[in-house]
Amino acid sequence: MKYYWIIAICILFSSCRDKMGGMKDDTFKKTELLSQLADNYILPEYASLQSHVDELVTSWNAFENQPSETKLDSIRAQWKRAYIRFQYVKMFDFGPGMNQNLAMSLGTFPTDTLAIETNINTGNYNLTSISNYDAIGFPALDYLLFSKNAYTDITTTLNRKVYVRELILKMKAEIDKTCTEWNTYRSAFVDGTSNASTSPFSLVVNNYIHDYETLKWTKLGYPLGANSGNVKNPALLEARKSGIGKELLRANVLALQQIYLGKGSNGKDGKSMHDYLLALAKTTTATTIETNWGVFLTQIDALPTSLETALNTDTQKMIDLYNAIHFNTIALKTDMVSAFGILITYSDNDGD
């Protein structure tokens, strides 16, 4: 009699298994995902950002030795390359990146032009203070390097020249430290597969989602006036002076897509969040997200070259993009994160 029960329960279980996990892959390992991310994406991307910033420093030194408009142009070109590269790593706001607070110190926008001018005029400032986050980094250089009379201003005002130099050197110092620390952090990182909120795997996913939502709000939502009665505000656009906002937006989306799909920056592809979803038999979620990255890129490509023009003349296209990104959050944040079973806070939890 006992055995009938056991057989009955086994049949019950196996029937459920077929329905639930027909395509499940129980052998998928998160550590492979993390190794792929670290070795073929994060480390090469940081190295690439580092070399771009090094070149920015070089071009700045050349300019300081013997200023010329051409040399300023070359600084601008280097700044642009580095800023775009930064879009590929800003979502790793944990571990070494967090130690340097890289995401904030390099990427806070809109920059506070008033604070920058005050800093320059008084010559009395502490660039590491929290209150100066919106007076430093790439966005501050957007203002300083691309203002109307940038060349004259920088070459004639010593304080201004010093300020630009200090901003560039601060960026270099922080990136150098981050790169060095990542080399040692790497081994802890690839083993950090638990779903506790402080484990590297959770940090990757939570910061990834956070970057996605930050992109939605700061690059599109705020300028569109999403939180201010839909009154547009071009002053909130990223890199407004240089007008490279669209390229930055595109780079950010490309980076998130690349990370999601496990595409290496060195050409070596590997295990990814997408694969993990497939291993969990969450095929619909996986393909929805995969498809949407392509949709966003097409939508971005359809925008005018300058986001400011887009905001003023092609507002609807920009709103459509904003909404598309907004609704994809359901698949990304709700479906994907819950399928992974990741916790978002580190206090006690009894799952009720």
Partner 1 sequence: MKKYLFKETSILPLVGFRIIFGLLMVIGTLRFLFNGWVHQLYIQPKFYFGFIEGISPLPGNWMYLPFILLLIGAIGIVLGAFYRFSTTLAFISFTYIEVLDKTNYLNHYYFVSLVLFLLCLVPANAYLSWDSKRNTSIQKTVVPLWTIRIVQLQLAVVYFFAGVAKINPDWLLHAQPLAIWLQAYRDLPIVGDYFATSWLAFAFSWFGCIYDLTIPFFLLGNKTRPYAYFFVVVFHIVTWLLFPIGVFPWVMIFSTLIFFPATFHEKWLSKVATWFRWEKDKNILPSHYQTNKIITLFVLVYVFLQLFLPIRCFFNHPQTLFWHEEGMRFSWRVMLMHKEGFATFYVKDKNSKREIQVRNEDFLTVGQIDQMATQPDMIKQYADHLYRTFNDSIIQTSQGSFQLKNPSIHAEIFVSLNGRNAQLFLAKKHSLQEKKYTTNPQQWLAKYNSKL
Residue partners of 287: CB distance under 8 A and separation at least 6? none
Q: Is 312 near partner 1 (CB under 8 A)?
A: no
Tell me the torsion sign for CA atoms 237, 239, 243, 248. negative
- Of 61, 195, 266, 313, the residue at the interface with partner 1 (CB under 8 A) is 195
Which of these, 46, 151, 33, lies nearest to 97 by C-alpha position? 46
- Of 4, 5, 27, 70, the residue at the interface with partner 1 (CB under 8 A) is 27
Considering the complex, state which of residue 39 and residue 55 has its C-beta at the smaller distance from partner 1: 39
- Of 162, 235, 295, 302, the residue at the interface with partner 1 (CB under 8 A) is 235
- Choose the binding region for partner 1 from 51-59, 75-83, 155-163, 332-340 (rule: CB under 8 A): 332-340
Report the distance separating Cα 149 and Cα 286, nearest Å. 49
- Of 7, 8, 16, 162, the residue at the interface with partner 1 (CB under 8 A) is 16
Q: Is 326 near partner 1 (CB under 8 A)?
A: yes
Considering the complex, state which of residue 144 and residue 280 has its C-beta at the smaller distance from partner 1: 280
Q: Which two tokens stand for residue 45?
A: 């991307």
Report the distance separating Cα 296 and Cα 313, nearest Å. 19
- Tell me the closest approach of the beta carbon of residue 111 to partner 1, in angstroms: 17
The binding track of 263-282 with respect to partner 1, each residue x by CB under 8 A or -, is -----------------x-x
Binding site for partner 1 (CB under 8 A): 9, 12-13, 16-17, 19-21, 24, 26-31, 193-196, 217, 221, 225-235, 280, 282, 284-285, 326, 329-331, 333-335, 337-352
